[in-house]
Structures are given as structure tokens and as C-alpha cells.
Amino acid sequence: MAEETIFTKIINGEIPADKIYEDDLCIAINDIAPRAPVHVLVIPKKPIPRLVDASEEDQAILGHLMLAAGEVARQQGVGDAFRLVVNNGADAGQTVFHLHLHIIGGTSFSEASLAGE
Ligand code: AMP
């Protein structure tokens, strides 16, 4: 059982967040420290720590996260131009060990790094 993260607490309603989307498998929240005009996190309700910790049984969840990200990006008005970023591991910049997709949009990608910074 993975250690409970801040995202699990948000999913469980134990701490507040700016939630903009929810379905059976995931939520989407506005990042608390946005690095672009649109910076949304798509978070599975299942607490998979890192992408590399996902297994075959998570295939449907992983596919669902991609579809949800597209839907949320459209809802946020950046459906034609956004990046999806997954930081896997501390050395790659992961700070919350509960898998999440960063939707980065509304910025000039020619001036943005791959991490959206
Ligand atoms: P990562 O570095 O890929 O693990 O991304 C974690 C992200 O979570 C960072 O962009 C943080 O700004 C964001 N974050 C941390 N705590 C919160 C929170 N309570 N609500 C929304 N976003 C958060």
C-alpha cells in the first residue's frame, strides 16, 4: 500500500483543492504553483506512486488519464495546443509520489522547456 500523499488527501476531500474535473477514475485540479496560464494536474484516484510502478492491470486507468487530459484541455480552451508532462522519479523533478499528468497550455512553447517551465 502506497504512502498517502497530498493528492490522496485531495481525492478523499480531506484538504481543499481547485478541482475542475472528476469522474470515476480520476480528478483534475489546477496546479497550486502554475508555470503557465493553464497548468492542470490529472490524477488517478488509484495511488500509483510513479509511472514505472503501473502494471498491466492499470492499462485502463492509464488510457483513461490520456482521454481525460484531452477532455480537460478542451474544457480549458487549450485543446489545440498543450503539452502533457509526467515527471517520473525525484531526479526527473517528481515531488508528489502519486502519478499525475501535467497539462501545460496557454503559453509559447517555443520559449518553454519540455517540463513547461
Ligand atoms: P511533480 O513535481 O511532477 O511531482 O508535480 C507536483 C505538482 O503538484 C507541482 O506542480 C506542485 O505545484 C503541485 N502541487 C503540490 N501541492 C498541490 C496542491 N495542494 N494543490 C495543487 N497542486 C499542488
Q: How confident is the model at residue 3 (pLDDT cuts 50, 70, 90)?
A: low
In a domain, 85, yes or no: yes
Does some domain include residue 1?
no
Domain containing residue 103 = 6-107
- Residues with a known catalytic role: 100
Residue 88: which of 70, 116, 115, 113 has the closest Cα? 115
89 lines ligand 1 (CB under 6 A): no
Residue 19 lies in a domain: yes
Would residue 117 count as lying in a domain? no
Measured distance CA(52)–CA(72) in Å, rounded: 24
Tell me: pLDDT of 114 over 70.
no
| pLDDT value for 50 | 98
- State pLDDT tens for residues 28-87: 999 999 999 999 999 999 999 999 999 999 999 999 999 999 999 999 999 999 999 999
Burial 6-32 (b: 16+ CB within 10 A, else e): ebbebbeeeeebeeebeeeebbbbebe
Measured over the CA atoms of residue 8, residue 23, residue 88 and residue 104, the dihedral's sign is: negative
1 has a pLDDT exceeding 70: no
Q: Does the residue 116 lie in any domain?
A: no
Does residue 112 belong to any structural domain of this protein?
no
Looking at residues 9-16, what average pLDDT do you find? 97
Q: Is 94 in the pocket of ligand 1 (CB under 6 A)?
A: yes
pLDDT score at 110:
77
Q: Which amino acid is at 73?
A: A
* pLDDT exceeds 90 at position 2: no
* Domain count along the chain: 1
pLDDT score of 116 more than 50: no
CATH of the domain at 45: 3.30.428.10
The pLDDT value recorded for residue 53 is 98
φ, ψ of residue 105 to 5 degrees: the values are -155, 170
Question: Of the residues 6, 39, 98, which should be mutated to test ligand 1's pocket, given the most ligand atoms within 8 Å of the CB?
Answer: 6
pTM: predicted TM-score of the whole model, two decimal places: 0.94
Please name every residue paired with 41 in a beta bridge, in sequence order, or none if there are none: 29, 102
